[in-house]
A and B are shown apart, each in its own frame.
Chain A
Amino acid sequence: MAIKIIAEKCKGCELCVKGCPQGAFTVKDKLAIVGPECNMCNQCLEPKFCPFGAIVKVEERSKTFAVDITQYHDVWVFAEQRDGQLMGVSVELLGEGKRLAAEIGCKVCAVLCGDNVDGLVDELYEYGADKVYYANAPELKTYNTDAYTHVIYQAILKHKPEIVLMGATHIGRDLGPCLAVKCETGLTADCTKLDIDPEDKKLMQTRPAFGGNLMATIVCPSHRPQMSTVRPGVMQKPERKAGQKGERIDLEVAFKSGDIRMEVLEIVKAMKEMVSLTDANVIVSGGAGLGNADGFKLLKELADKLGGVVGSSRAAVDAGWIDHSHQVGQTGTTVKPSLYIACGISGAIQHLAGMQSSDYIVAINKSENAPIFEVADYGIVGDLYKVIPEIISALG
């Protein structure tokens, strides 16, 4: 497919030149031309983009693929474990996987790699896995790119899942790309929404693009499996049903010399305080408007009063006032607490992308024109160093 211009309809008005996020359009002799920058984001197909309907998407020759997609069944979830503990996002994905499987009419299965983590198999059943594919070997004790890719790739070849979901953790975002190229299939990173097309049952994967300025829905029509990494904290955790059972399938694990070309020598846990932003009910966040690192002490006081935790914008992290683990937004953590209080945060789109699904948003900012007020339920224009102490005192 490609974006083309219908020469008879184009007026040379340059609206497309101004609007294209990639800067792919140029106008020469009153006629628009699509350049190689076009990445088929399809934004220009919206009527407002070209009022004359001169921009169209046309089918070009398409490569024929050998994959028979009808052979692929079931939704797989990569059950990421660290130190024998399941990651929260894997549990969330079992819930989401179950929902998708119900719409397709197939099963949801977990893929578990580890060294004697049999207890997790039962846990995965209880969170809804119909089947657990289990690879048990000392080489799989901790995540190793080569070892995990090798084992899961073999399992995909043999069992042919239709969909493979992984958490968009540092591990899922490492494993996913390697598996996708081995399978010669597509991978959509950091999805925030998944749906099944009711007509052809394909997976519709929605993710933020362009630093959160755009949302894109991605499909993978003729390759299998359809693979996505999904942001932690955006899908609902399913209820755990004690005693629920499923089917265990043991995967063959055999490594030849040269299969594993790296070794994890040591895992060092950060001594820094762990911030559980995703689990927090209340988050009090600070940004550039704090002016200095000490401002976070005041936010901490308010957060403590509300039983919450302290978050931050990227600006505050970049300024060195607070650790990255507190960062909310596109390159930080996605959160959806009941209450999000943004203090001195202007509301860059990247920040909004990470917090706008909070139940209630309160914004405190000196500038009444700050974009944060556009998403706030309650806004206060004022000096946060005056406003926050008053809120603390009003809380009694």
Chain B
Amino acid sequence: MKIIVLAKQVPDTNEVKIDPVKGTLIREGVPSILNPDDANAIEEALALKDQYPGTTVDVVSMGPPQATYMLRECLAMGADNAYLLSSRVFGGADTCATSTTLAAGVKKIGDYDIIFAGRQAIDGDTAQVGPQTAQRLGIPSVTYVQKIREIKDKTVVVERALEDGYEVIEIQKPCVLTAIKELNTPRYMSVAQIEEAYKKEIAVWDEKALNVDPSDVGLVASPTQVHKSFTPPPKGAGEMLTGTVPEMAAALVAKLTEKHVLADH
């Protein structure tokens, strides 16, 4: 089986804080990480590789040159090859344009049975790039995959999470499946594999290597534009209650009653 995984290096948004004076994001010291859902995507691919000997797992990412660190992490987890799609003309892309570049990368790798991607990246939370890449490749997709039930000859049977349960879907191969954290627990890198990972070449492909027209990718091919961005206005801080615990509890109930939030007691 040939598996391709789409992965992204993202800033750890849990570590991002707002400068209270300037109202801007504090970027300093925020680590770049492998996007969490993408780690589940890689894990699932590697689990299938463990199960089906002869399976290869190739990881593709679009990003700046430093995303090779994240790709080495994927190699150290056990991926066979890693490819970075990197060029100034790919930059500033929305999901629509990103999917064009990723689809070109997948086509250059060639043959594949399953493409895994994370459901969404924590820096954008759009959940769009996986299914959009499938559309560009002309293959079907299932998002929010929580379990792979069975790999058949021509199809895959998966569970897709819904808000109040799940669906069991049988989908034709080749296909794109996007992973959620319920799918599995990503493995750690092993020391031996870290050493191996640093011996491997990571191919870096630009628009020439992918044979894409620069006007079809990146910012110029992005239908959406950011009109403005701003930090959400903080709600004004309220009143801190003081006194003993019973006094504070009584004061709270009295205040909420006074504001008609609670019925009279």
Contact = CB atoms under 8 A, between A and B. Distances in A.
Interface of A: 1-2, 18-23, 35-43, 46, 48-49, 60-63, 142, 145-146, 169-171, 173-174, 176-178, 180-182, 184-190, 204, 208-223, 261-270, 274, 306, 325, 330-331, 338-339, 348-350, 353, 356, 359-362, 368, 373-383, 386-387, 390-391, 393-396
B225 A23 contact: no
B190 interface: no
A393 B253 CA distance: 10
B240 interface: yes
Contacts of B248: 380, 382, 387, 390
Given A178-B135, A217-B229, A261-B171, A377 B239 contact: yes
Contacts of A381: 240
A225 to B, nearest CB: 10
B223 A185 contact: yes
Interface of B: 11, 13-14, 16-19, 22-28, 64, 86-88, 90-96, 99, 122-132, 134-136, 139-144, 157, 160-172, 175, 215, 219-232, 234-235, 237-241, 245-246, 248-250, 252-253, 255-256, 259, 261-262, 265
Contact of A208 (B16, B143, B232, B246): B232
Contact of A394 (B27, B234, B250, B259): B250
Nearest to A49: B24
Given A18-B27, A170-B162, A379-B238, A218 B249 contact: no
Contact of A174 (B13, B131, B175, B224): B131
Contacts of B90: 36
29 contacts: A18-B27, A19-B27, A21-B24, A21-B25, A21-B27, A36-B90, A60-B220, A142-B167, A170-B161, A174-B131, A178-B131, A180-B96, A188-B224, A208-B232, A211-B125, A216-B228, A220-B224, A262-B170, A262-B172, A263-B169, A265-B157, A338-B261, A339-B262, A350-B13, A356-B235, A359-B261, A382-B248, A387-B245, A395-B262
A335 to B, nearest CB: 14
Contacts of A181: 96, 99, 131-132, 135-136
A216 B225 CA distance: 10
B256 to A, nearest CB: 7
B112 to A, nearest CB: 16
A170 B170 CA distance: 18
B168 A266 contact: yes
B169 A262 contact: yes
Contact of B96 (A173, A187, A262, A390): A187
A254 to B, nearest CB: 19
Nearest to A176: B128
A186 B128 contact: no
A178 B227 contact: no
Question: Sorted from nearest, which 9 A-B pairs have the closest CB atoms?
Answer: A211-B13, A186-B223, A390-B249, A186-B224, A377-B238, A223-B223, A181-B135, A177-B128, A189-B126
Tell me which of B88, B157, B163 has the highest count of chain A C-beta atoms within 10 A of its own C-beta.
B163
Contacts of A217: 226-230
A213 B25 contact: yes
Given A2-B92, A263-B170, A178 B232 contact: no
B132 A169 contact: no
Contacts of B225: 1, 40, 218-221
B232 to A, nearest CB: 5
B11 A219 contact: no
A267 B142 CA distance: 14
